[in-house]
């Protein structure tokens, strides 16, 4: 909408009363310029592209943006092309400024990890990122890589929380066949995927409808492998595929450890133990809690990798490993690197659960 200033109205009234020449009236009614003719400025506005625009010859506004060009005014000829949306928005808001916006400066890219621009391996646990191990930009999957309920960590994905009682029971209701297990050792030693009945009788095991969101327990390493494989995933193992080394704390070789520690930290939340951050001995519950219910026990959107339950890893079946500590463990046992080695494929405990990875 065209605007008329109070000064112009006053001049018209004066001319009507006192009389004035046509040249005076014309001079007084000239519209103020919105910009300096021929001047260039960076495109602006909520949907503007990364280009430039040139002020029209009559100074009424900027011409069309030259998107993606470093040459100002490619689309803004002297014929006074329509002004872009941002100029119209300024008019609607009553912006009468005739100043030309300076050209937008490009922010310098932040570089971490040295002159070659490589990112540091370890992510700050408070940053909401879990990026270790870094296999290079070419190896990283796209944003749609991870299935629902998983978080990307470097080149693989990991479950946000432990597999829950309700999720495991839903799988059991499909009657999965133990004879179809991929590992020969599991076929021989694991005739059923149901949680171990003796283990389930332990007083620390949560029972009832309210326990559906707790991590499933009393399942053995073969059960855990079969569940993950049935869902198109795998029990967290070696980065890049296969079985993780049963010994050591090398996060570049171990998916579970990389996700828990961000590649460097003793606990998911940092190097200093926080009593009560995770569901361990110091909390005093002596049982599990709802998976993902402790925001102080998370890193990069991944919960409960310390405490609540230890978690099975995909290692050699002759040397099974559960990591991270459970509700019975104290400070040292709750470290990401903490590991319990169990030779039997059939052993199940009330403080051991699992989660899956994907690659």
pLDDT in tens, 184-241: 999 999 999 999 999 999 999 999 999 999 999 999 999 999 999 999 999 999 999 9
pLDDT at 147 over 90: yes
Confidence of residue 93 (pLDDT cuts 50, 70, 90): very low
SS3 186: helix
Confidence of residue 119 (pLDDT cuts 50, 70, 90): very low
Q: Is the pTM of this model over 0.85?
A: no
Alpha-carbon distance values, 79 to 1, 39, 76, 269 (Å) = 21, 15, 8, 62
Question: Chain centroid to CA 161: how far?
Answer: 15
pLDDT at 128: 41
pLDDT at 54: 58
CA distance 140 to 75: 39
| Range with the poorest average pLDDT among 114-123, 233-242, 267-276 | 114-123
- Phi, psi values for residue 133, rounded to 5°: -85, 155
Fold of 137-358: 3.90.1580
pLDDT at 56: 72
pLDDT at 80 over 70: no
pLDDT at 87 over 50: no
Average pLDDT over residues 255-276: 96
Give the number of other CB atoms < 10 A from CB of residue 224.
28
| Range with the poorest average pLDDT among 20-34, 94-108, 181-195, 295-309 | 94-108
pLDDT at 71: 38
pLDDT at 60: 75
Average pLDDT over residues 165-185: 96
Kindly give, in sequence order, each residue whose CB lies less than 8 Å from that of residue 260, ignoring residues fewer than 6 positions away.
268, 299, 302, 305, 306, 323, 324, 336
pLDDT at 92: 34
Domain locations in the chain as residue ranges: 1-30, 32-105, 137-358
The mean pLDDT of the chain is: 75
pLDDT higher for 268 or 299? 268
């Amino acid at each position: 909408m065209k605007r008329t200033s109070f000064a112009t109205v006053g001049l018209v009234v004066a001319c009507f009363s006192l009389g004035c020449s046509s040249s005076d009236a014309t001079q007084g009614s000239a519209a103020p310029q919105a910009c300096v003719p021929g001047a260039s400025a960076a495109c602006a506005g909520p949907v503007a592209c990364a280009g430039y625009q040139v002020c029209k010859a009559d100074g009424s506004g900027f011409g069309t943006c030259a998107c993606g060009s470093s040459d100002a005014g490619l689309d803004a000829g002297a014929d006074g092309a329509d002004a872009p949306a941002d100029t119209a928005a300024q008019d609607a808001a009553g912006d009468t400024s005739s100043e030309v916006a300076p050209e937008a400066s490009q922010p310098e890219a932040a570089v971490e990890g040295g002159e070659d621009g490589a990112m540091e391996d370890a992510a700050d646990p408070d940053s909401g990122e879990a990026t270790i191990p870094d296999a290079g930009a070419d190896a990283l999957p796209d944003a749609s890589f991870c299935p629902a309920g998983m978080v990307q960590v470097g080149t693989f994905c990991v479950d946000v929380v432990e597999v829950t009682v309700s999720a495991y029971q839903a799988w059991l209701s499909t009657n999965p066949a133990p004879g179809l297990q991929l590992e020969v050792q599991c076929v021989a030693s694991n005739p059923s995927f149901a949680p171990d009945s003796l283990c389930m009788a332990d007083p620390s095991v949560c029972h009832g409808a309210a326990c559906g969101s707790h991590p499933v327990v009393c399942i053995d390493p073969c059960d855990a492998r079969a569940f993950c494989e049935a869902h198109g995933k795998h029990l967290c193992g070696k980065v890049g595929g296969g079985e993780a080394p049963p010994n050591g704390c090398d996060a570049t070789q171990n998916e579970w450890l990389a996700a828990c520690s961000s590649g460097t930290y003793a606990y998911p939340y940092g190097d200093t133990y926080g009593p009560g951050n995770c569901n361990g001995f110091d909390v005093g519950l002596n049982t599990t809690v709802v998976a993902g219910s402790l925001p102080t026990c998370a890193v990069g959107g991944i919960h409960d990798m310390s405490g609540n339950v230890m978690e099975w890893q995909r290692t050699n079946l002759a040397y099974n490993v559960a990591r991270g500590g459970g509700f019975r463990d104290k400070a040292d046992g709750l470290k990401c690197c903490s590991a319990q080695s169990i030779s039997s494929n059939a052993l199940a405990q009330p403080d051991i659960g699992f989660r899956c990875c994907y690659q």
